[in-house]
Structures are given as structure tokens and as C-alpha cells.
């Protein structure tokens, strides 16, 4: 399977602010998506992550969807036919999360999807990255940066409000160009490189508030701030 999508979601407390994360791996590129809602549940975020991952690709695409949620895997591979036969009702009333499950059903109808369960927090790099992105989405929702509608797929990754980075003009332009080529916002691009290339102890020290001083591009991981001069480069 050439396209592998890791999807994860979570909520803390449950219900409460929640986030979803998607890590996409193909032979040509890796891509990350995340988002959140300020009042949701674990299961809704797990389902949303899977939906956002699938809708990233056009109809006809062959995808392996990897989730650590048994609820999502069983819903799409075991329970869905029975829910349809029973009119989307359970013994206690209308079925929860019908809207998202119907959305997933429609997305899988014109894509070739293989559903694979992976054990969470077991060292799978793709699953760990999706979990991390889901936490980014949850933090964004808690701080009021969630998208207005869950169908929007943001490509910004809010990470550490205490970390601010400022770069000179030359490096700013290089970051913006490389981020655009990767399909990422500048702060997501920089954060991804830090995450992959710094040792854990170094990354923790960085996230505690170190600054790289410069002039033109200010990356505040709580919210992206681009200096005015960068508008001339768009």
C-alpha cells in the first residue's frame, strides 16, 4: 500500500476540548493535518481524524488507514451494515456520531480503503506523530484557535505558546518557500524539523522558552505572526 494515513483523536476531559491529528506518508511526501473543537468527545475526534485523512485524497485513491481506536476500526469494518439495517438506532435511541460515520461511509464508497488497527503508544512513529498532532489540535481548541467548522482542514500546528522565533530576511524567505513547497504553514514546517532533528532533551529545553533572535519572520507557536515586510514576498 503506497499511501498510509495515521489518524488519531482525543479529548481531555471527555467530553471537553478535543483535537484530531493526521499524519500522511506516501513515497513522494509526508504531510500533517490537525484541528480541534472546544466541546466534543474522544470518539468524535477519532472519527473526525479518519474523515479528514480520507478527504485529503481524490476518489479512486488506494489508502491504508491506520487507527489506534477500536471504535473507528470496528465501526467501519463490522458494525456499519447493522446500523444501516436498523435505521441508525440502538436499543437506547438514536445512534451517537451518525453524522461522522455517514461521512466516513461516503468517503470510503469511492476510495479503496484498508482499515488497520495499531496499538497506541507502542512506538509506531506514524501513530505517535498523529497523537502529537491531535494534542496540538486540542491545545488550539482549548485556547480558542479551533476552526469554526470541523470540515475545515487547517495546516497550522500550534505547539508551544512560550516559544517565539525570529529570523532574518534571507532565512525567512527560504523558510516560506520551503514551507509552501511542502504544503505547510511556516511554523508547522519549522516545528516539524525541530521535532525530527532535535534530541528529546534539546527539544524540551527549546520549548521552555529559548529564542532565536533576528529581524523579519516571527514564528510564535501559540499563533503565527508574520512581520509586515513578508507581505511583499507573497
Residues 6+ apart with CB under 8 A from 106: none
Please, what's the b/e burial string for 190-211 (b: 16 or more CB within 10 A of its CB; e: otherwise)? bbbebeeeeeeeebeebbeeee
Q: Which among 32, 68, 135, 191 is annotated as catalytic?
A: 68
Give the C-alpha separation, 17 to 78, whole Å.
29
Is 121 among the residues known to form the active site? yes
Closest by CA to 143, choosing from 10, 2, 19, is 19
Q: Which among 8, 37, 191, 216 is annotated as catalytic?
A: 8
Q: Which among 10, 21, 36, 46 is annotated as catalytic?
A: 46
Is 168 among the residues known to form the active site? no
Is 68 among the residues known to form the active site? yes
Q: Which among 28, 82, 93, 121 is annotated as catalytic?
A: 121
* Grid cell of 59 as nine digits: 476518489
- Cβ burial of 131 (10 Å; 0-12, 13-18, 19+) is buried
Is 8 among the residues known to form the active site? yes
Is 232 among the residues known to form the active site? no
Q: Which among 32, 37, 131, 135 is annotated as catalytic?
A: 131
Is 131 among the residues known to form the active site? yes
Query: Would you name the residues annotated as active-site residues?
Result: 8-9, 46, 68, 121, 131
Amino acid at each position: 500500500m503506497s499511501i498510509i494515513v495515521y489518524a488519531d483523536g482525543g479529548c481531555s476531559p471527555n467530553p471537553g476540548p478535543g483535537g484530531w491529528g493526521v499524519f500522511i506518508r506516501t513515497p513522494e511526501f509526508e504531510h500533517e493535518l490537525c484541528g480541534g473543537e472546544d466541546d466534543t468527545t474522544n470518539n468524535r475526534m477519532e472519527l473526525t481524524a479518519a474523515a479528514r485523512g480520507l478527504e485529503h485524497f481524490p476518489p479512486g485513491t488506494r489508502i491504508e488507514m491506520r487507527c489506534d481506536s477500536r471504535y473507528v476500526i470496528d465501526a467501519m469494518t463490522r458494525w456499519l451494515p447493522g446500523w444501516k439495517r436498523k435505521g441508525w438506532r440502538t436499543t437506547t435511541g438514536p445512534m451517537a456520531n451518525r453524522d461522522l460515520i455517514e461521512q466516513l461511509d461516503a468517503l470510503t464508497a469511492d476510495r479503496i480503503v484498508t482499515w488497520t488497527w495499531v496499538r497506541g503508544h507502542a512506538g509506531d512513529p506514524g501513530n505517535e506523530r498523529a497523537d502529537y498532532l491531535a494534542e496540538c489540535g486540542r491545545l488550539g481548541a482549548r485556547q480558542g484557535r479551533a476552526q469554526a467548522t470541523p470540515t475545515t482542514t487547517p495546516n497550522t500546528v500550534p505547539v508551544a505558546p512560550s516559544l517565539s522565533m525570529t529570523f532574518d530576511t534571507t532565512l525567512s524567505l527560504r523558510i516560506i518557500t520551503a514551507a509552501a513547497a511542502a504544503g505547510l504553514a511556516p511554523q508547522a514546517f519549522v516545528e516539524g524539523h525541530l521535532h525530527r532533528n532535535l534530541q528529546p532533551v534539546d527539544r524540551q529545553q527549546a520549548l521552555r522558552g529559548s529564542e532565536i533572535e533576528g529581524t523579519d519572520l516571527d514564528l510564535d507557536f501559540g499563533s503565527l505572526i508574520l512581520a509586515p515586510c513578508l507581505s511583499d514576498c507573497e
